[in-house]
Amino acid sequence: RNLSKKYQPKKNSKEEEEYRYTSTRAFLATLNEMNDYAGQHEVISENMTSLITGELTRYVQELKQERKSHFHDGRKAQQHIETCWKQLEASKRRFERDCKEADRAQQYFEKMDADINVTKADVEKARQQAQLRHQMAEDSKAEYSSTLQKFNSEQHDHYYTHIPNIFQKIQEMEERRIVRIGESMKTFAEVDRQVIPIIGKCLDEITKAAESTDHKNDSQLVIEAFKSGFEPPGDIDFEDFTQPMKRTVSESSLSNSRGDGKSEPKFGSKSKGKLWPFIKKNKLMSLLTSPHQPPPPPPASASPSAVPNGPQSPKQQKEPLSHRFNEFMTSKPKIHCFRSLKRGGAGPEDFSNLPPEQRRKKLQQKVDELNKDIQKEIDQRDALTKMKDVYIKNPQMGDAASVDHRLAELGQNIEKLRIEVQKFEGWLAEVEGRLPMRTDQARRQSGLYEAQNTSAVNSCAQDRESPDGSYTEEQSQETEMKVPATDFDDEFDDEEPLPTIGTCKALYTFEGQNEGTISVAEGEMLYVIEEDKGDGWTRIRRNEDEEGYVPTSYVEVYLDKNAKGA
């Protein structure tokens, strides 16, 4: 139940848009059925608590008391038989002692009677003493016999009556306990069996929801939501290098910006701009944006005049293919520029930075919103007009001139909104005129398409090649680049930035002019996100959007020993 509540869609959130897909609707239905499933488990828990747990708890207390009573009776019977045995032993010892004393008295009498020197009185006294002792022995014998008979009877009753009865009661108690356990198990099964039909229905609904998913429909929804309307580029023209004076550069060539530094960027910028979503930022950015030459040595002094302008691009007649590929893959736009736009940057009013299809949807949405605003203003104007008529007919209810100012304001607002609608409708008509018909599957020629859409796609940064063979960025295009955030961007842009592993202080001013480097001022404190790996460069970050490499000799690093990767 907690999981079902946790993953329910939030009200008025972005997640609600995702529930138009069959897969997410099926997931929501599964959550609801799981909530009902949990309700049936609660029914089982309540019934088990009332019918089984509570009853067994009371029954166990009763059994404990009964068992305690039986053990008490057993100990009492055992103590009684032990007492009888002690009495028998005492009687037996007394009888034995009296018999010995009677024998000694008889022997003393016979000795006195045989002695001629003893007086008759002493003999008579000895005879009486012997008779007394014999009488005492006879009494002890009778008592011992009676005690022995009594003990034998008690012992017989103990082992054949009392103890068997106690064990029989304990056995019956245990048998009742076992029967009660069986009944509780049966009750548990019955409690479960009562909810099985409802649980089965929940599972059937989950299965039905799973079978209701339609991958084709979901794919079509995604296509309709995010399709750009771009046409594939045309064929690349053949460039005849045998006639250098008459050579022309193809507009669709990927290297069209290398020949003329002032030529308009065509498809090359679009190609590079489209590559960025498929690059894992944290995994490849370190490799691809690391400077390709050794860092400069630190300046001899800290004065600004002694600080070099930064590492110079190496002079190469022919750069390796891998280096060209890295420069191609890491060219602007970078991922962090999209993140900064999503935080608050606004695109052009005519949405010219969007692909044609997305632009058409945005313009249509804007036209609909403006029409709603116009209708709202018209309704207010009509209501005020009726109020003014009432005031004119009944002056005592109010001053008719008091609403004239508000009516004038509403009229101006309506006129402004209508002008806005006309403006957006013009842009919408322009876009719809460019887009192919819905039923027409024929593609237009790439050249015509590019001629019409140069201004719409000319917002990404375009690389320029310097005369010495290195690549530099055109600053004006980089600052003007504004690309809206889409869900597709988020898919690749939500990766967490590299964690900081320490701080550093800039010892000298460094002007980072190459790709992947960052400019720092002397004395500036920055964050370290990657140590020097032997190439002489340290990766630092100024804020969430600015990071790059600086020469290790230009900074003093203070690593955090507790940081991961330090």
Q: Which amino acid is at 478?
A: E
Q: Are 428 and 367 in contact (CB under 8 A)?
A: yes
φ, ψ of residue 259 in degrees (nearest 5): -80, -45
- Please state the rounded mean pLDDT for residues 346-374: 84
Domain 1-219 has CATH 3.60.130.10: no
Question: Which of these, 3, 13, 6, lies nearest to 38 by C-alpha position?
Answer: 3
Lowest mean pLDDT among 91-105, 278-292, 550-564: 278-292
Lowest mean pLDDT among 205-219, 276-290, 330-344: 330-344
pLDDT at residue 551, rounded to an integer? 92
- Please state the rounded mean pLDDT for residues 209-228: 88
CA distance 473 to 418: 42
pLDDT at residue 293, rounded to an integer? 62
Per DSSP, the chain holds a count of helices (H) and strands (E) of 16, 7
Task: Please state whether beta strands 537-541 and 525-530 pair in parallel, antiparallel, or not at all (unpaired).
Answer: antiparallel
Question: Which of these, 559, 552, 566, lies nearest to 506 by C-alpha position?
Answer: 552
- Say how many C-beta atoms besides its own lie within 10 A of residue 8's C-beta: 13
pLDDT at residue 77, rounded to an integer? 94
pLDDT at residue 404, rounded to an integer? 85
- Say how many C-beta atoms besides its own lie within 10 A of residue 561's C-beta: 7
State yes or no: pLDDT of 339 exceeds 90: no
Omega before 294 within 30 of 0, i.e. cis: no
Lowest mean pLDDT among 100-114, 328-342, 517-531: 328-342
Beta bridge partners of 550: 538
Cα Rg of the chain (Å, integer): 53
DSSP state of 78: H
Question: Looking at per-residue confidence, does 48 or 487 come out higher?
Answer: 48
Mean of the per-residue pLDDT values of the chain: 75
State yes or no: pLDDT of 481 exceeds 70: no
pLDDT at residue 565, rounded to an integer? 54
pLDDT at residue 156, rounded to an integer? 94
Is residue 457 classed as helix, strand or coil in its secondary structure?
helix
pLDDT at residue 333, rounded to an integer? 40
- Please state the rounded mean pLDDT for residues 276-281: 46
For 7-18, the pLDDT digits (tens) are: 888 776 666 677
Lowest mean pLDDT among 180-189, 395-404, 523-532: 395-404
Distance from the first to the final alpha carbon of the chain = 43
User: What percentage of the chain exceeds 90 in pLDDT?
Assistant: 37
Lowest mean pLDDT among 68-72, 509-513, 518-522: 509-513
- Please state the rounded mean pLDDT for residues 345-368: 80
Question: Which of these, 523, 514, 519, 518, lies nearest to 302 by C-alpha position?
Answer: 523
CA distance 246 to 238: 13
Lowest mean pLDDT among 180-184, 249-253, 561-565: 249-253
CA distance 266 to 458: 8
Lowest mean pLDDT among 31-35, 178-182, 192-196, 260-264: 260-264
- Please state the rounded mean pLDDT for residues 95-117: 89
- The CATH code for residues 502-559 is 2.30.30.40
**Three-state SS annotation for 128-184:** HHHHHHHHHHHHHHHHHHHHHHHHHHHHHHHHHHHHHHHHHHHHHHHHHHHHHHHHH
State yes or no: pLDDT of 445 exceeds 70: no
pLDDT at residue 338, rounded to an integer? 40
Lowest mean pLDDT among 147-151, 396-400, 464-468: 464-468
User: pLDDT class for 470, splitting at 50, 70, 90?
Assistant: very low
Burial 211-247 (b: 16+ CB within 10 A, else e): eeeeeeebeeeeeeeeeebebebbeeeeeeeeeeeee
pLDDT at residue 290, rounded to an integer? 55
- Please state the rounded mean pLDDT for residues 536-544: 88
User: pLDDT class for 292, splitting at 50, 70, 90?
Assistant: low
User: pLDDT class for 308, splitting at 50, 70, 90?
Assistant: very low
Query: What Å distances lie between residue 154 and 69, 91, 161, 166, 319, CA to CA?
Result: 22, 16, 10, 16, 117
φ, ψ of residue 5 in degrees (nearest 5): -70, -35
User: pLDDT class for 157, splitting at 50, 70, 90?
Assistant: very high
Q: Are 255 and 446 in contact (CB under 8 A)?
A: no
User: What percentage of the chain exceeds 70 in pLDDT?
Assistant: 70
Give whichever of 140-149, 324-333, 496-505 has the largest mean pLDDT.
Answer: 140-149
Question: Which of these, 468, 474, 551, lies nearest to 517 by C-alpha position?
Answer: 551
User: pLDDT class for 185, splitting at 50, 70, 90?
Assistant: very high
Is this structure's pTM higher than 0.75? no
State yes or no: pLDDT of 485 exceeds 90: no
State yes or no: pLDDT of 440 exceeds 90: no
For 36-79, the pLDDT digits (tens) are: 999 999 999 999 999 899 999 999 999 999 999 999 999 999 99
CA distance 460 to 332: 7
Place of tokens 């039986």: 70
For 390-430, the pLDDT digits (tens) are: 888 888 877 878 888 888 889 999 999 999 899 888 888 88
Encoded tokens for 319: 């750069």
